[in-house]
Amino acid sequence: MILLVNTLKLSVYGLLLGFFPPIILAISFNLLASDKLKKRLQLILYAPNFISVVIIVGMIFLFFSNKGPVNHIYEFFTGKTVPFLTEPDFFRPLYIFSGIWQGIGWSSILYTATLSNVSPELIDAAKIDGANILQRIWHVDIPAIKPVMVISFILAAGGIMSVGYEKAYLMQTTMNLPSSEIIATYVYKVGLQSGDYSYSTAVGLFNSLINLILIIAVNQTVKKLNDGEGL
Which whole number is the average pLDDT over 8-14? 89
The reported pLDDT for the residue numbered 59 is: 94
**Angle between helices 197-225 and 142-158 in degrees, nearest 10:** 150
pLDDT band at 230 (very low <50, low <70, confident <90, very high): low
Average model confidence (pLDDT) for the chain? 86
- Domains defined along the chain, listed by start: 1-225 (1.10.3720.10)
Residue 9 has pLDDT above 60, yes or no: yes
Q: What is the pTM of this model?
A: 0.85
pLDDT in tens, 120-166: 888 888 888 888 889 989 989 999 999 899 888 888 887 777 777 78
pLDDT in tens, 196-227: 677 777 777 777 787 778 778 877 877 776 66
Indicate the SS3 state at residue 12: helix
CA-angle at 192, arms to 87 and 84, nearest 5°: 10
Q: Taking a C-beta distance cutoff of 8 angstroms, is the pair 86, 7 a contact?
A: no
pLDDT in tens, 171-184: 998 889 899 998 88
Cα Rg of the chain (Å, integer): 21
- The secondary element (H helix, E strand) that includes residue 206 is helix 197-225
pLDDT in tens, 19-36: 999 999 999 998 887 888
pLDDT in tens, 46-95: 999 999 999 999 999 999 998 899 999 999 898 889 999 989 999 999 99
